[in-house]
Structure 1
Amino acid sequence: MTNSIEDIEEADCILIIGSNTFEQHPLIARRVVRAKDKGTKVIVIDPRKTPTAKNADLYLQITPGTNVALLNAMMHVIIKEGLIDEEFIKNRTKGFEELKKVVEKYTPEYASKICGVSPELIIEAAKIYGGSERSSILYCMGVTQFKHGVDSVKSCCNLAMITGNLGKRGTGVNPLRGQNNVQGACDMGALPNVFPGYQKVDVAYEKFEEVWGVELNHKVGLSIPEMIENAGKEIKCLYIMGENPMVSDPDIGHVEHALEELDFLIVQDIFLTETAKLADVVLPAACWAEKDGTFTNTERRVQKINKAVNPPGEALEDWIIIKKLAEKMGYKELFNYNSPREIFEEIRKVTPQYAGITYERLGVEGIPWPCKDENHPGTPILHTEKFLTPDGLGVIFPIEYEDPGELPDNEYPFILTTGRVIFHYHTGTMTRRSKHMVGEINEGFVEIHPEDAKKLGIKNNELVKVSSRRGEVIVKARITENIKKDVVFMPFHFAETTANILTNTVLDPNCKIPELKVCAVKVEKLKISEGMPSKAVSSETT
């Protein structure tokens, strides 16, 4: 997030795109509610009329995968209506004239044919966002998990920059992280192209070779989908920590086949997940309440966590497992840490954003990075005076709309989009072991619009077969006007009817994220003879 969670309340307009904030980020949603109570206008862009959308002042029911077209149209209106911040554009950015040329053709009427939102709603949304003194953008995986997800994020940034909505309270471009330490993992270099602190692998390797006293690979690594694709080929062994790709990754049938092709699979987790069941070795890890250390949350706030109880049985803290493995592999001197505090001291040394953060300073509230020295208070709002670029200017990237990787056709006429429900978390590894959560819901479903259901002869709660080019799943139909016509929705939490047996492996060429939010499917009324299978069926196994 460019801004803090608390200053969301100071926005005059909150644009929520690709995020069901009220169900998936309820603490942040409280800030949205408080802002709304003060008069803030809330705009929600989503193909589903979620609880978030139902609390909006303006709801735009978009066709999945068309964010860029809609955002370009909003910018077209903002430029036409003179709602740009000319001083901010002149003094703080570059690339505006090129953007202006690109968005010129994205009239509300033109974009409406692409995104399925009426021109009137596009104009109204643009005027509210552009006409507000302070506008904040909140987004989540409904923006990023596309073949052109990076383009969608850049479009959000363009919108904020041309209206001067960066660098001050109540504004910003604010991605809502889906798990408690996703930001921290990225900060620590858990990405294929960077070392800790987002220092590029092919540039900063000499610094880290000197600090660690070893020769490092200078090449950019592989993303998770690329690892799966190369499993059993160039990659002979995978070590998976706290991840459950047998539920969370696209085209599950292919994932299972790839993992089985490995010479050796190691899984480190707190439960025996669907992925762990395929492993040659399972390393039992400690959960969040059973270890010391730090988490870095969605607003870049580094927070200290303290062990409440000891891990059960043979389970160990992650850093201890890694240290023991390193010792067995001959790196005892290099991994001579004795506590999380010692590890954090190294983090401070190699990660500029963390340089001024100490365990003593963290206290209860934590500190948002960047924090350059021990006298620095931390940085709740980024880009207040200049951007983090060599010349200090924000780069406006003109973006043309491009179609998703897979569109509906006569054989597969529906767009499937996936997501979460309020009662379950990610792949259900934890929540599906809670009797209260499974008491609310413990099975998959597919949402389908009443008009589509009527054409197909499908009734509410009937079993249906949802198929894509990669496999098929049998689930109950949930007939609802909350889903856009010609679009269906499935949650991905439930391994027995996982939506990701259907999803597409096409990747964003820039960040390598898979297009989990769009694929083409068909929905069929289930024949009695087909029955209810024990698990989803994949094209890899048929």
Structure 2
Amino acid sequence: MLKIAHTICPSCSVGCGVNLIIKNQEAVGTYPYKRHPVNQGKNCKKGRDSFHILNENRLKNPLIKKTSLEQVSWDDALDAASLKMKSYSPIEIGIIASGNCTNQEYEILKKFAESMGVENIGYNAGTFPSFDFKTATLDDVENASTILIIGDVLKENPLLGRRVILAHENGATTISVDLFEKTLTGINSDEYIQVGSMSEFSEISKQVLPKLNESSTVLIENLKTSTEFENILKVFEGSDAKILPVLDDCNSKGAMNHLPALNKDELKEILEKVKLLYVVGDDPASYNIESMKNLDFIITESCLVTETALMSDVVLPGSCWAEKSGSFTNTTGETQKILKIVEAPVDARDDVNIMIELAEKIGLEL
């Protein structure tokens, strides 16, 4: 028997609606959500393929490292994790999350850290530091008279790119800036400016700024460092243009609303100064394994088999996005609810419940 259930795509920060096709309690495909206001019945390839996340490379049982990772009961895994966390001082503990958790998970994780007195906490923010200004909306993009695009939005975020194309069809001028000789966005822009590095942007801005006004939007994607983002923002301080940072993960903006945004250097600093690391949804071993070699103990809570999970001392199998209820906040700041559609596989559990049970084992009140 087939069932179709609506959810929010987890593939990027735009927040498109997507319908999962469920057969015998397993996700087997997707179908565009025709009335969703973000993507208006369209889904990109990443959105169409999003159901694969539920079925591939999953963690299914709690694990503890003995001579190797071995399957154990939930009580044994939580006991091992809680006993170790209680044996370290707050300054020796680090907590790192990803931008793919729900808002409810960030809220619980923040309370968890505060109850333990842990200050070494944050989420992997990629190249975007925390910001609190009101961003452009998708309608602002579609109705703009001029659009300045930093990065290859049409390739990386096709449904946001669709709004750019609609604006262009309505007469908007599009200007693209990127590091590469040729990009999909550049090919489809009225003007393409190639730069050797984003440090050149302040010079280029002198020819671009006069073309922007209150009906213009600026899309910022594909930066290498958070400093580049901060410097680019300074360029637009005197402009009336609306700005839309295109964040990396599906709930990067939600994470930013609850936890410190950590760039690569800040993540490295935490990894090198703590002794026990609690990872929720992220995979720091994939981008900073050298800094993890001096850790005494690693606890990973994740739905996927990752490099970090494989080197962990305790692994707590969590739920994937369609296996839990909560909410995501997209890159324009719009919060959308998701509902549980299918069960998590085998012995995996809801992440909020895992955090609460771990806190209870430690003796914390959340």
Which TM-score applies when normalising by structure 2? 0.59
Distance, in Å, in 1 between the alignment partners of 2:255 and 2:277 is: 18
Residue 321 (structure 1) aligned with residue 354 (structure 2):
yes
Distance, in Å, in 1 between the alignment partners of 2:245 and 2:226 is: 15
Distance, in Å, in 2 between the alignment partners of 1:8 and 1:281 is: 45
Distance, in Å, in 1 between the alignment partners of 2:250 and 2:325 is: 15
Shift in alpha-carbon separation, 1:284–1:175, aligned structure 2, 3 A: same
Secondary structure at the residue paired with 2:307?
coil
| Aligned residue in 2 for 1:45 | 177
Percent same amino acid among aligned pairs? 33
Shift in alpha-carbon separation, 1:283–1:26, aligned structure 2, 3 A: same
Secondary structure at the residue paired with 1:149?
helix
Counterpart residue type for residue 315 of structure 1: A
Distance, in Å, in 1 between the alignment partners of 2:332 and 2:201 is: 25
| Aligned residue in 1 for 2:297 | 264
Q: Map 1:323-362; keep pairs closer than 5 Å.
A: 323-331=356-364, 334-335=365-366
| Aligned residue in 1 for 2:216 | 135
Shift in alpha-carbon separation, 1:3–1:322, aligned structure 2, 3 A: same
| Aligned residue in 2 for 1:6 | 139
- 5+ residue gaps in structure 1? 75-122, 166-171, 193-221, 250-254, 336-542
Shift in alpha-carbon separation, 1:231–1:11, aligned structure 2, 3 A: closer
Whether the 8 Å contact between 1:36 and 1:42 is mirrored in structure 2 is yes
Q: State the Cα deviation string for residues 124-182 of structure 1 (Å, max 9, x = none).
A: x445x23x66211000242x625443222222x32xx33x33xxxxxx01101221110
**How far apart are 1:268 and its partner, in Å?**
1.5
Whether the 8 Å contact between 1:139 and 1:175 is mirrored in structure 2 is yes
Distance, in Å, in 2 between the alignment partners of 1:25 and 1:266 is: 33
Residue 176 (structure 1) aligned with residue 246 (structure 2):
yes
Whether the 8 Å contact between 2:138 and 2:332 is mirrored in structure 1 is yes
Distance, in Å, in 1 between the alignment partners of 2:245 and 2:271 is: 31
Q: Map 1:129-528; keep pairs closer than 5 Å.
A: 129-130=211-212, 134-142=215-223, 145=225, 147-155=227-235, 157-158=236-237, 161-162=238-239, 164-165=240-241, 172-188=242-258, 190-191=259-260, 225-231=265-271, 234-247=273-286, 249=287, 255-331=288-364, 334-335=365-366
Secondary structure at the residue paired with 1:240?
strand
**How far apart are 1:276 and its partner, in Å?**
1.6
Counterpart residue type for residue 276 of structure 1: A
Q: Map 1:46-65; keep pairs closer than 5 Å.
A: 46-48=178-180, 49-65=182-198
Whether the 8 Å contact between 1:191 and 1:223 is mirrored in structure 2 is no
Secondary structure at the residue paired with 2:265?
helix
Whether the 8 Å contact between 1:294 and 1:305 is mirrored in structure 2 is yes
- 5+ residue gaps in structure 2? 1-133
Larger RCO of the pair (alpha carbons < 8 Å, separation 6+): 2
**How far apart are 1:289 and its partner, in Å?**
0.3
State how many pairs are aligned: 232
Q: State the Cα deviation string for residues 516-535 of structure 1 (Å, max 9, x = none).
A: xxxxxxxxxxxxxxxxxxxx
Counterpart residue type for residue 217 of structure 2: S
Whether the 8 Å contact between 1:12 and 1:41 is mirrored in structure 2 is yes
Distance, in Å, in 1 between the alignment partners of 2:214 and 2:330 is: 27
**How far apart are 1:318 and its partner, in Å?**
1.4
Counterpart residue type for residue 137 of structure 1: V
Counterpart residue type for residue 153 of structure 1: L
Determine which structure has the larger strand proportion and give its number.
Answer: 2
Q: Which has the larger radius of gyration?
A: 1
| Aligned residue in 2 for 1:425 | none
Distance, in Å, in 2 between the alignment partners of 1:224 and 1:50 is: 26
Find the partner of 2:157 among 16, 25, 30. Answer: 25
Which TM-score applies when normalising by structure 1? 0.41
Distance, in Å, in 1 between the alignment partners of 2:313 and 2:171 is: 57
Secondary structure at the residue paired with 2:278?
strand
Whether the 8 Å contact between 2:149 and 2:220 is mirrored in structure 1 is yes
Counterpart residue type for residue 142 of structure 2: E
Secondary structure at the residue paired with 1:275?
helix
Distance, in Å, in 2 between the alignment partners of 1:7 and 1:126 is: 18
Shift in alpha-carbon separation, 1:242–1:303, aligned structure 2, 3 A: same
Distance, in Å, in 1 between the alignment partners of 2:227 and 2:140 is: 32
**How far apart are 1:224 and its partner, in Å?**
5.8
